[in-house]
Chains A and B, each alone.
Chain A
Amino acid sequence: MQPRLRHAIAVSALAISAATAAQAQDVVNVVCVVEEWCEALREPFFEETGIRMEFLNLRTNESLVRIRAEASNPTFDVFYGGTGDPHFVAAGEGVTEPYESPMMAELSEDMLNAVNGAYLPLYANPIAIVVNPAVLEEAGAPMPESWEDLTDPAFRGLIGMADPNSSGTAYTVIATLVQIFGEEEAFELLAGMHQNMATYTRSGSGSLQPTGQGELGVAIIFMSSALREREAGLPIEIIIPSEGTGYEISGISLVANGPNPEGARTFIDYALSAEAQDLGTQAGSWQIKANVNAAPAPGGPRLDEIAVIDYDFEHFGQPDVQTGLIARWTEEIFPVPR
């Protein structure tokens, strides 16, 4: 009886997992970070290819954790969106595999070079200085043109930025400054900006709305949401600092050994098409799209129109570099009374 019981357990486990695997081949399973965008792609993708796209909305790092955990028996085919770092890590660990998409001919060469084949670029989003001119005028501050300008005491109490301990946006700002000025000078600059800070927000774009409402004069944030809100009528201006600015490149990756690799490739090709990228803009993702034929967001620039720095994604994406810089900021800048 005993061996048979054990056998029975094994059989039932097998039977159940076999039934799970027996799901249809005409489905692509996507781990999706940008929910509205994926939702917008689902119907058109089905109409064009006859393949159903199912997605699970997870946050960037959760997605990585999920794909990593399932590496031996993946249930997902594609990892879509989110910041670039986890795509780099996934490619390094081999849980995603490189894919030479035919659509690469249509993608921005700068973005392709920056990610260096680790994944396929989906969009780029630069850091920008967003200002409310009326507030600056009232406070007697000039229009800032560079990162240096933000240390001018005229901006005292006017600037809002995210807290790097709670948001990746602020880390991108710190990494950008370190790459432009070198670490020592960058931290002097950050110390100067600290004196002008009105608030460190909890979320990345938390200072945008207060700036539009005239509560703050300057917000340091990713550009896409500022573009969208400017179009919605906020009286803001978007400034790219003269020293250049950093950016993030979001990506799309093919999961290694996924259940439906053919469908996954079809989906990736589709997602990188100008048509699919335009759907993203319509769904409210106003970043600079990787496909050069995609229409730019209303009022939005192309990547080659703005002074972006040669951002070293590989180095500054490493967790220990990241923790080190944030720790230094927390030690040396955050506690200084202002």
Chain B
Amino acid sequence: MADLAQTPPRSLSRAIPLGAVPVWSGIALLLFLALPLIRTGRRFLPLDYMLHPLSLGAGLHWAPAVAAFAVIALYLRPAPRPAQARRRADMAAVILSLGFVGLWAALFSAGTPFGWGAMGASLALCIAAGSALSESNRVRGDAFTGAGILLTLLFVTLFITYPLVMVIRSAVWIEGVLTLDQFRATFSSSLFLFVDNRFTEVNEARMVAYWATAGGAVALAWGLWSSRAAALWRRAWMVPLWVGAGLIAGWAVGIMIWGRGALPSTLLVAVIVAPAATMLGFALALLGQRTNSRAVRGILGVASVLPFITPPFVIGFSMIFLLGRRGLLSHDILGISPFANPLYGAPGVILAQVLGLAPVAYLIIRGSLNSLNPALEEAAQTLGASRWRVFKDVTWPLVRPGIAASLLLASIESIADFGTPLVLGGDRNFLATEVFLALTGRYSQSEASVYGVVLLFLVVLVFIASRWMLGVKGFATVTGKPASGAFLALPRSLEWILLSLAGLWFAFILSLYGVIVYGSVVELWGINNTLTFRHYIEFWNTGWPVVWYTMKLSVASAIPAMMVGGLIAYLVTRHRFWGRSYLEFGSLLSFATPGTVMGLAYILAFNDGTLLMTSTSAIIVLALVFRNMPVAIRASMSGLAQIDRSLEEASATLKAGSGTTLVRVLSPLLLYPLLAGLIFAFVSAMTAVSQVIFLVSAGNNLATVMLLARVERGQLGVAAAMATVLIVMLLALIVLLLVASRYLDARNRGKGLSI
């Protein structure tokens, strides 16, 4: 492919070189000369030509212009032989990167915020350097590939890795000294972990020690037993590992039962929520796949979308209405005394999270159930296996990867959840809320960072543990060849149990949403139940401009999220290059990092100096882009896996560059994954709270942050009105898109363009 692109006669025939390298160098030069290089304040607009490179005088900040000029000059001389061309490209890459480094060295040494000129020139230099790298065969692929690799590496480093490194730095680097003092102070604080309560009769510390010992003993016994067949002495070095892991697990269980503080609360809730949500999701998925009732399937479909379009703390907030001390159900109907209501604390948080995460589990498990070939079950039954046997030996192993994925996702989401504990946590504190309260209540960046590091560590631990314990391979049993047979129907009694479970669940969800709508039309919830549209009028006056602004920012973030996501997916699946696994890991990291930690990271990384971007809408858009990009990546990757490479090869043979191929051949085939990524990015931008709560500012408020502030300030009526409008709008949008995609699908089929 590379040889094709460099056919000598073509480049010789041209007097003026028009390769990607000189062209993009020229663009860098133009951008550098046309725009102000720096800013004086936070604002990117209006352009201030007092800050043009010319008015800044001579200096190192001219490096990109010099580099670009030198590269253009270099390319004026023809390089007839491939070896010469490669050497020339190498030189160009070195010169361009020197220009890039020079510019940022000048900016960092002066400490002034970068401006349009610096940004535009740097991006163009990157593209030029990437093209040069591909020309010199350092990167296999054409100019587009080289530039794409360099740009995505730059983005992931700048907007994911660098901010997270700043969190770790801020936790250990305090007032210019490398120290673990903040870790020590936080770990010994009662907010983090509080075990030995001398006012109770039980000695908690001893109980925790018992649990830890028991854990260690169980792990040792299990280790010995499981390796009894192997030669034990060969695995002797693993004994301390088993015991260590057992001790830690036992200790964790111990503090969950006997301890208080953010760490045990977060662990306890996650340990209960993840299996509960997964089980509920599994039950619903089984029902959804095997029931004959279309109504049940429809209801499940709608209900499974609801959590995605609901701002995360709204379920908690309506649970106060329904189950709180003066709740409709708990107080008015069941008559539970307001002073004995157990909602606040772990029970409320667990319930709200299970409700919020069950649909996610449902979607994941439903996906893996659907990939099961019914013929297998039929075959097993024909061979005389009982229903239970079929489930245990055929169905279960095949859905296990889905269960594992759901457990993993649910525990990460539960650990990262910020809104629910804030609203329903009561006396209990949680790690994700502690990040927020340390920063906004106790004004300590280093303490917030320590909590952030602990959260990151937990999430990584969950990842590793899930890989290690549930590292089951996926089995593809659907081959694309027509599958015959039908799934085994559920036993009658089981179907009834599942149906009533689903009915209960749905009724509860429905009443939660109903309560929000009701709360939005009464004067003052629980006190004055006169019907009124006052809250909607107030919402229209004060809330709507913010919602409109949020929509604009969400669109502005969803499109780049889709494009960057699609590009990364393409590069990672179709090319081999240095830094490939780093790209994959980086995007996984941005997905797994709790939102509050990412928000904190952006504040730490972009609050001053050359990279100053806080209090602008730019930083909000960037945070949302890199937060929501991973889903576009995953969707596009699975889409790409189904597209045969021969299409791209054909396109390349016809002399299309990989950029053209990506846009004209692959993108139409990837329409659905890309569209899914786009919708997801838009919807999650609209409902995002935790990752943007630190980033909003006077003119840049976002709908959900405003909603949370109103819930906190107690303007429940307006908050309910705002939540209702948001949910209805997003639901309408999703339905509209579903209808549109059906229509498009039908039209494409008509043209014989089915994928």
* Interface residues in chain A, defined as those with a beta carbon under 8 Å from any beta carbon in chain B: 5, 8-9, 11-17, 19-20, 22-23, 35, 39, 54-57, 59-62, 65, 135, 139, 156-158, 163, 165-168, 198-200, 202-203, 206, 208-210, 212-216, 225, 229, 232-235, 330, 334-337
Q: How far is the CA of A62 from the CA of B197 in the complex (A)?
A: 34
Contact B110 A210 (CB under 8 A): no
Do A199 and B326 form a contact, CB below 8 Å, given A13-B110, A20-B112? no
Which of B55, B339, B697 neighbours the largest number of chain A CB atoms within 10 Å of its CB? B339
The listed residue (A12, A60, A157, A199) touching B58 by CB distance below 8 A is A12
Interface string of B522-550 (1 = CB under 8 A from A): 01111110000000000000000000000
Contact A233 B38 (CB under 8 A): no
The listed residue (B109, B200, B339) touching A157 by CB distance below 8 A is B339
Chain B 547-604 interface residues, beta-carbon cutoff 8 Å to A: none
* B residues less than 8 Å from A135 (CB atoms): 338
Tell yes or no: B482 within 8 A of A by CB: no
Contact B40 A213 (CB under 8 A): no
The listed residue (B57, B190, B422, B442) touching A15 by CB distance below 8 A is B57
Contact A9 B105 (CB under 8 A): yes
The listed residue (A39, A166, A229) touching B442 by CB distance below 8 A is A166
Contact A166 B429 (CB under 8 A): yes
The listed residue (B105, B110, B199, B712) touching A337 by CB distance below 8 A is B199
Contact A16 B56 (CB under 8 A): yes
Chain B 104-122 interface residues, beta-carbon cutoff 8 Å to A: 105-107, 109-112
Contact B60 A19 (CB under 8 A): no
Do A19 and B58 form a contact, CB below 8 Å, given A215-B325, A335-B199? no
Q: Which of B274-282, B433-441, B624-632, B734-742 contacts A (4 or more CB under 8 A)?
A: B433-441
Question: Nearest CB to that of B338 among chain A residues?
Answer: A215
CB distance from A166 to the nearest CB of B (A): 5
Chain B 612-634 interface residues, beta-carbon cutoff 8 Å to A: 615
Contact B112 A202 (CB under 8 A): no
Contact A213 B615 (CB under 8 A): no
Could you tell me the dominant secondary structure of chain B's interface residues?
loop
Listed by A's residue number, 22 A-B pairs whose Cβ atoms lie within 8 Å are: A8-B58, A12-B61, A15-B56, A16-B38, A16-B56, A16-B107, A17-B111, A22-B50, A35-B698, A39-B698, A59-B439, A62-B443, A157-B339, A165-B189, A166-B191, A198-B339, A202-B437, A203-B712, A212-B714, A215-B341, A234-B527, A335-B200
Tell yes or no: B288 within 8 A of A by CB: no
Question: Nearest CB to that of B523 among chain A residues?
Answer: A233
* A residues less than 8 Å from B384 (CB atoms): none
Tell yes or no: B347 within 8 A of A by CB: no
Which of A12, A336, A337 neighbours the largest number of chain B CB atoms within 10 Å of its CB? A12
* A residues less than 8 Å from B339 (CB atoms): 139, 156-158, 198
Contact B51 A19 (CB under 8 A): yes
Tell yes or no: B344 within 8 A of A by CB: yes
Contact A213 B38 (CB under 8 A): no
* B residues less than 8 Å from A215 (CB atoms): 324-326, 338, 341
* A residues less than 8 Å from B198 (CB atoms): 335
Do A337 and B200 form a contact, CB below 8 Å, given A11-B57, A16-B61? yes
Tell yes or no: B59 within 8 A of A by CB: yes
Q: How far is the CA of A202 from the CA of B442 in the complex (A)?
A: 11
Contact B443 A208 (CB under 8 A): no
The listed residue (B110, B344, B526) touching A213 by CB distance below 8 A is B526
The listed residue (A16, A62, A167, A233) touching B527 by CB distance below 8 A is A233
* B residues less than 8 Å from A16 (CB atoms): 38, 56, 59, 61, 106-107, 110, 112
* A residues less than 8 Å from B298 (CB atoms): none
* B residues less than 8 Å from A225 (CB atoms): 713
Tell yes or no: B513 within 8 A of A by CB: no
The listed residue (A13, A233, A337) touching B528 by CB distance below 8 A is A233
Do A334 and B190 form a contact, CB below 8 Å, given A13-B110, A158-B339, A215-B326? yes
Contact A5 B60 (CB under 8 A): yes
Tell yes or no: B425 within 8 A of A by CB: yes
* B residues less than 8 Å from A210 (CB atoms): 325
Q: How far is the CA of A168 from the CA of B440 in the complex (A)?
A: 11
Question: Nearest CB to that of A333 among chain B residues?
Answer: B199
Tell yes or no: B649 within 8 A of A by CB: no
Which of A20, A55, A65, A206 neighbours the largest number of chain B CB atoms within 10 Å of its CB? A20
Which of A11, A56, A215 neighbours the largest number of chain B CB atoms within 10 Å of its CB? A215
CB distance from A139 to the nearest CB of B (A): 7
Interface string of B378-410 (1 = CB under 8 A from A): 000000000000000000000000000000000
Tell yes or no: B19 within 8 A of A by CB: no
Q: Which 8 A-B pairs have the closest CB atoms?
A: A12-B59, A61-B443, A209-B714, A215-B325, A16-B110, A157-B339, A13-B110, A15-B57
* B residues less than 8 Å from A39 (CB atoms): 698
Question: Nearest CB to that of B441 among chain A residues?
Answer: A166
* B residues less than 8 Å from A203 (CB atoms): 437, 441, 712
Interface string of B427-451 (1 = CB under 8 A from A): 1010001000101111110000000
Contact A202 B441 (CB under 8 A): yes
Do A214 and B326 form a contact, CB below 8 Å, given A13-B109, A166-B437, A337-B200? yes
Tell yes or no: B194 within 8 A of A by CB: yes
Do A214 and B106 form a contact, CB below 8 Å, given A19-B38, A22-B50? no
The listed residue (A199, A213, A334) touching B426 by CB distance below 8 A is A199
* B residues less than 8 Å from A216 (CB atoms): 325
CB distance from A198 to the nearest CB of B (A): 7
Other than A163-B427, A166-B441, give 12 A-B pairs with Cβ distance below 8 A: A5-B60, A12-B57, A12-B110, A19-B38, A19-B55, A19-B56, A166-B437, A212-B527, A213-B325, A214-B325, A215-B338, A337-B200
* B residues less than 8 Å from A15 (CB atoms): 56-59
Q: How far is the CA of A70 from the CA of B359 in the complex (A)?
A: 50
Q: How far is the CA of A215 from the CA of B340 in the complex (A)?
A: 11
Chain B 165-194 interface residues, beta-carbon cutoff 8 Å to A: 189-191, 194
Contact A213 B525 (CB under 8 A): yes
Question: Nearest CB to that of B528 among chain A residues?
Answer: A233
Interface string of B477-505 (1 = CB under 8 A from A): 00000000000000000000000000000
The listed residue (B51, B55, B60, B526) touching A12 by CB distance below 8 A is B60
The listed residue (B55, B324, B714) touching A208 by CB distance below 8 A is B714
CB distance from A106 to the nearest CB of B (A): 28
Contact A229 B714 (CB under 8 A): yes
Q: How far is the CA of A157 from the CA of B325 in the complex (A)?
A: 12
* A residues less than 8 Å from B715 (CB atoms): 232
* B residues less than 8 Å from A62 (CB atoms): 443
Contact B324 A12 (CB under 8 A): no
* B residues less than 8 Å from A11 (CB atoms): 57-59
Q: How far is the CA of A62 from the CA of B697 in the complex (A)?
A: 15
Q: How far is the CA of A164 from the CA of B38 in the complex (A)?
A: 44
CB distance from A16 to the nearest CB of B (A): 4
Q: How far is the CA of A157 from the CA of B443 in the complex (A)?
A: 31
Q: How far is the CA of A20 from the CA of B115 in the complex (A)?
A: 12
Q: How far is the CA of A336 from the CA of B344 in the complex (A)?
A: 19
* A residues less than 8 Å from B51 (CB atoms): 19
CB distance from B328 to the nearest CB of A (A): 12
* A residues less than 8 Å from B524 (CB atoms): 232-234
Q: How far is the CA of A62 from the CA of B341 in the complex (A)?
A: 38
Do A214 and B526 form a contact, CB below 8 Å, given A15-B56, A16-B110? yes
Question: Nearest CB to that of B340 among chain A residues?
Answer: A157
* A residues less than 8 Å from B61 (CB atoms): 12, 16
CB distance from B57 to the nearest CB of A (A): 4
* A residues less than 8 Å from B422 (CB atoms): 202
Q: How far is the CA of A216 from the CA of B325 in the complex (A)?
A: 8
Chain B 316-353 interface residues, beta-carbon cutoff 8 Å to A: 324-326, 338-341, 344
Chain B 669-692 interface residues, beta-carbon cutoff 8 Å to A: none
Question: Nearest CB to that of B714 among chain A residues?
Answer: A209
